[in-house]
Amino acid sequence: MAMKTAEEHEVGISCFISDLPGFRGILKQRYSDFIVNEVDRDGTVVQLSSLDAPQEEPESFQENGTNTSDNVVSYASQIESFKSLAGDSDAVLLEEFINKINAGGEDGVSPIVLSPDSDKSHRKAMHNFFKENFKFLVTDVVDGPDASSKCIRVRLNSAEPNNKGKNSKKRKERGDKPFDSRGSENWPKNVGKFLRFHLYKENKDTHEALGVIGNMLSVQPKSFGFAGTKDKRAVTTQRVTVYKQRASRLASLNKRLFGIKLGDFCYVKEGLCLGQLLGNRFTITLRGIVADSEDIIKASADALGRHGFINYFGLQRFGSGSLPTHLIGAALLQGEWKLAVDMILDPRDGEKSAIAKARKYYKESSDVVGTLKQLPRYLVAERAVLQTLKTSPGNYLQALKSIPRTLRMLYVHSYQSYLWNHAASKRVQKYGTENVVLGDLVYCKENSTGKVTESVGSEYAEDCSGRYDSNNEDEISGEIHEEIDSVKVVDVEDLNSGYYTIDDVILPMPGSRIKYPTNHIANVYEDLAKKDGISLTESVHNVEDFSITSITGCYRRVFQKPINFEWELLTYSDSNKQLVETDLDKVNKSKPMGTVKQMGAANGKNEEAFDCIRELESSNDVVKVENYSEIAGEEIKLPHDESLSGSSSQDSQIALKLSFTLPASCYATMAIRELLKTSTSVAYHKTLNQ
C-alpha cells in the first residue's frame, strides 16, 4: 500500500494563537515566492554574491596539486584472478572500488563489504590474496546477515606509506568505524583543509543537491558539512564546507549544474556542523490574496508580528514528499529493522513515474541490483540501503546504519517532533496562550546566557558527532549540560512574582536527560509513546543511534515571535511574473549580457529541451535532470519556476510579501499557517491554483 503524506492534525498541528478569521493566500505558487537565506552565528545573512573562484588560488596548489590521476596502475590481471577466488559479483564490486580510488575519489571512498562467507579457510585465502596483490588495501571481518556467516570488509590501508600518507592513529581514535579515506597529505599546510562555499538551490533539498555535487566530484556525502537542511520547494542559500577540494574545481561545475549554483568560496580550518547557525531569513510572497477586507489582512499581519505563532515542527519535518518519517522513526525505536527498511523503499503517493516504477519493481521482485539501476542517485537513503543489501542480504540493521548519519537520525528526530507537537497542542488547549501555569517548564532567567537562549529548539545538537564519523560529543556536552541545568519547573512563588511570561514556556524533545512538565502535559508524551509500543525510559535494543535513551534531548519554545518582521501588500496582474529578486537574479544583473544563450535557437534544440524540462518542473515531485546540458548540447538558463496554475491572468491581484528571521529549527510555514488559518500542505495549496 502506498504511503500518504501526513496531514497537520496527524502530527499534532491543530491550534492557533489568535482568533482572527484568516484569509485566502497561495503559498509557494512559484519557487521564488519562498526565499530562504541562512543566518550564521555572527548574525550575517548568507547570500550568493559571486560564482567565481578566487582569482588567485594559493600558489602551493600548483606545486602540490591534489587528486592527480597520472601513473594510475592497472589491476586488471589481479581482479581477474580475484574473480576465480571470490566470484563475479565481488570482483565487479572490487573493480568499481579501485576505479573510484584511481579517479581521484579517495577523499570519500567508503569501504566495501564482500558477500557473506561462512568458510573460515576461504576467508583466510581472501585475506592473503589482498596482502599479496593489493598492498594499498586492508581487510577485516564484520558480521554477516546471520549468526553463522561473516563478511570481509575492504578499505584503504591507513598505514600504507604509498597511500598518500594515510595515518593509522586517526583510525584508532575512530574505534572500529569504517575508515574514511578523506584526502592526501600533500594538501598545502598554509591552506585550510575545508573549502567553504555558498550553496544556492532551487526546488531541491539540501541532501539531494549535495548528492549531485558529490557525484560530480566523486566524493561521498560525508565529505560535506552544513549547518542545517533547507526547504525543497524554495529558493535557498546556505553555507557548505567540503573537505580538501579546490575552489576552481567547484566553480567549474556551475555551467553543468541545473537548479544549483556554487559561489563565494574561501578556505577554512574547520568544517560546518549541524546546528552551527543562528537561524534563517525568510522572504515569502503569498499570492492570490482574498479577504473580506484589507483591514483583516493588516490586522492579521500585525498580530503575527506582535504575538507570533505556535512553534510547531512543520509538515516538512515529517516528509512532505509523501514519506511519513515519524513512522519510520517509531519503527527504529521499536527495533523493527525490516519494517523500517520496507517503509524507506516502499511505493509512495505522488512520486514521478520512474521512481514509482522502481519502487514497485523492488516490492514485487526484491531484485536489489535491478532496482539500483533504476533509482536516481539523489535518493541517498534508498540507494545506501540497497547497496548494503546487495552485499549483505537480509542485514537490515546494517543497511539502516549505512544511511548517512545526519539523514538517518532525522527519522528519530521526526518521532521526537511528533510527540512535541502533540504536547504543544495540549498545552494550548488546556492552559491557553496568555499565562504561565503551575508545572510549566521555563529557562531560569538568572542562569540564562546568550548561548543557552540560542540553543533553544536546536534539535540537531547531538548530530555533530556524526560529521566525518568523528566523535565530538565531548566538545558540545558543555552546551547541552548548561541548557538542561538551566531548566526549572514553575512553582507558586514564580507565579506570584510574575517573573516568567508565556514567551518563556518551553517543552522538551524526549531524551535521556530532560525534565518533563509536572502538569498534565507530561502525560501526552507517555501516552502517545506507549500507544506506539515505545518506552521513553528504556530501550528494547542496544543500537544507540536508534534509541531514545541514548539521545540527550533538548528543549524548544512553545511560542515564537518573528524577528525583524516586515510586510507589504503588492499588486500584480501576471501570475507567472516573479515578484521578488533572488540572489542569482542579483548576480546575473551584475554580469554582462549575453553570457547565457537565449531560448529558441535556429536549430530548435534549445526550445525542445526547455519544453522537456518545463514539463518536469510542473509536477509536485520533480525528476532531477543532472545532465540537462546533454539534451540541448549547450547551457540552458531555465526560469526559476513555473506557476502551478500554468496560466497568467490580466486581472489585478493582491500579494502579501513578508520578511522575517526565525531561530534555527523554527518553521516559517507555521507562521504562515497562523496568518491564513489554513493548512500548509502542498496538496491544499495546489488546489488554490485550480
Gap between the Cα atoms of 262 and 41, Å rounded: 21
Residues identified as active-site: 231
The DSSP secondary structure of 117-145, one letter per residue, reads B--HHHHHHHHHHHHHH-TTEEEEEEE-S
Judge contact between 463 and 409, C-beta under 8 A: yes
**Region for 51 from its dihedrals, namely left if φ exceeds 0, alpha if ψ lies in -120 to 50, beta otherwise:** alpha
Instruction: Report the SS3 class of residue 653.
Output: strand
Gap between the Cα atoms of 186 and 164, Å rounded: 8
Question: Which residue is listed with cell 538542561?
Answer: 484
Secondary structure of 360-384 in HEC code, one letter for each residue: HHHHHHCCHHHHHHHCCCCCHHHHH
Maximum distance among all alpha carbons in the chain?
Answer: 83
Q: Per the structure block, which three cell numbers stand in for 495?
A: 507565579
**CA quadruple 351, 355, 357, 362: dihedral positive or negative?**
negative
Judge contact between 462 and 552, C-beta under 8 A: yes
- Name residue 152's beta-bridge partners: 141
Q: Per the structure block, which three cell numbers stand in for 572?
A: 500584480
DSSP annotation of 587 reads H
In this structure, the chain runs to a length of: 690
Alpha helices in 188-258 (DSSP H): 206-217, 247-251
Gap between the Cα atoms of 151 and 140, Å rounded: 8
Q: Which residues contact 279 (CB under 8 A, 6 or more apart)?
A: 39, 563, 661, 662, 663, 664, 666
Q: Per the structure block, which three cell numbers stand in for 243?
A: 573537505
DSSP annotation of 501 reads -
